[in-house]
Structure 1
Amino acid sequence: MRLELHPQNPNPRNLKTIIECLKDGGVVIYPTDTVYGMGCDIFKHEAVERICRIKGIDPKKSHFSFICYDLSHLTDYTKSVDTPLFRLLKKALPGPYTFILPASRQVPKMLKTKRDTVGIRVPDNLICRTLVKELGNPVMSTSLPIDEYVEEYTDPEIIHDKFGKLVDIVIDGGPGGILPSTVVDCTGPEPELIREGAGNWEELV
């Protein structure tokens, strides 16, 4: 199923359908402020396993991130963040960054890495942030089952044609990007750039 949601004013009825799907353990493809991603409710174990099967990956070796509504989720899903780091996060988010942080006990075990970390995203995109807000907890986020994002994967219709049968809903929120988020590891003494993407690292530090 492909459902359209206006980027600034999402249709409440379509939104409700998507939220119900996530609550029932569904898997959706949705827009972010970078590329289109695939995800589910972080507490739906079977949905996470299904995404791993779709992508042909081992959940134990995978790195997933969470889409959060805002920084208030940090206290729930990460261990204490010091003031300089919080300032950095506040400056960058909402925005095209993924921050790797120490995971709290509330993070489902299968979504933690061996290092006990979790990736946190607060995209500058009203659709995915509204989904999280309405759902009441973060949405797991991972890339589409492709090797790289190219021009055709910016078009939700093409995404639906290629992957619509693998997931429950493809959310059409208009054209997506081809650059993924910039990934920053914040578990060491200094933040470290892991992947340069859509977010400008120089501006951040």
Structure 2
Amino acid sequence: MPLSILCHSFRDIDTYTTGFPRGDGQGHANIFRAVKHCLPGPYTFILTASKELPKQCIRNRTAAAKYAVRKNVGVRMPDDAICQAILDKTDAPLISTSVKCPKENEWLIDPVVIADMYGPEGLDFVVDGGVRVADPSTVVDMTVMPPKIIRQGKGPKLHWMVAEDDNESDAVHEANLIVASAT
């Protein structure tokens, strides 16, 4: 199951990743300027992991090899009040994952069910914020240009993102407009 990190600030994101694409003056858009307007929010951005990220966050056990190393990690700056309060008090990012029920392949949204199901497997604690709405984040791969939506979720597709069925040249043109309007 892929892990992501929940961050309180862009400082945290910059510590554990190589950061957002900032443009190069050669026609490539400064995506960071656009991202600042949608975080905190309902997005998970896949970025290149830095050496500061604990190895447990970027290793997946596989049958073929003891560990397969991922060089990328999902980062979130959630707009949820409970998550923001926890991140503020801990003053450190948290490791997170989306949880689906293995049998029904549906999101687990009841904290009591999550604790009952995963407590015996080593879950340390669950923050009971009540039964939640299953609204997964939109996952955007920032390691490719233009940024590509991997999973459409609560966050709307923005003009600088591409989806599977988009014409990528249109999205690159739109992303370059960000640079022109922001400067």
TM category, shorter: 0.5 to 0.7
Percent same amino acid among aligned pairs?
A: 38
Q: Does 1:118 align with 2:73?
A: yes
Question: Residue in 2 aligned with 1:37?
Answer: none
Q: Does 1:106 align with 2:63?
A: no
Q: Does 1:63 align with 2:2?
A: yes
From the two aligned structures, give the one with the greater helix fraction: 1
Question: Residue in 2 aligned with 1:170?
Answer: 126
Give the 3-state SS of the residue equivalent to 2:143 in structure 1: coil
Pick from 129, 138, 141 the counterpart of residue 185 of structure 1.
141
Q: Hey, what's the Cα distance between the residues in 2 that align with 1:63 and 1:162?
A: 19
Structure 1 residue identity aligned to 2:135: L
Q: Is the 8 A contact 1:95 1:122 kept in 2?
A: yes
The gaps in structure 1 that reach 5 residues or longer are: 1-61
**Higher RCO (CA-CA < 8 Å; seq separation 6+):** 1
Q: Is the 8 A contact 2:19 2:47 kept in 1?
A: no
Task: Give the alignment's TM-score, normalised by structure 1.
Answer: 0.60
Report how many residues are paired.
142
Q: Does 1:136 align with 2:91?
A: yes
User: Mean alpha-carbon deviation: is it higher for 164-173 or for 62-71?
Assistant: 164-173
Q: Structure 1 residues 88 and 143 mapped into 2: Cα distance closer, same or farther (>3 Å)?
A: same
Q: Hey, what's the Cα distance between the residues in 2 that align with 1:178 and 1:141?
A: 15
Give the 3-state SS of the residue equivalent to 2:127 in structure 1: strand
Structure 2 residue identity aligned to 1:185: D
Q: Hey, what's the Cα distance between the residues in 1 that align with 2:75 and 2:5?
A: 5
Q: Is the 8 A contact 1:96 1:123 kept in 2?
A: yes
The gaps in structure 2 that reach 5 residues or longer are: 24-29, 60-68, 162-183
Name the Cα RMSD after superposition: 2.3
Q: Structure 1 residues 199 and 105 mapped into 2: Cα distance closer, same or farther (>3 Å)?
A: same
Q: Hey, what's the Cα distance between the residues in 2 that align with 1:149 and 1:193?
A: 21
Question: Residue in 2 aligned with 1:149?
Answer: 106
Q: Once the 2 structures are TM-superposed, how far is the Cα of residue 103 of structure 1 from its aligned partner?
A: 1.0
Task: Give the alignment's TM-score, normalised by structure 2.
Answer: 0.67
Q: Structure 1 residues 64 and 176 mapped into 2: Cα distance closer, same or farther (>3 Å)?
A: same
- Pair member with larger Rg: 2
Q: Is the 8 A contact 1:164 1:170 kept in 2?
A: no
Q: Structure 1 residues 161 and 185 mapped into 2: Cα distance closer, same or farther (>3 Å)?
A: same
Q: Is the 8 A contact 1:92 1:204 kept in 2?
A: no
Q: Is the 8 A contact 2:46 2:74 kept in 1?
A: yes
Q: Does 1:77 align with 2:16?
A: yes
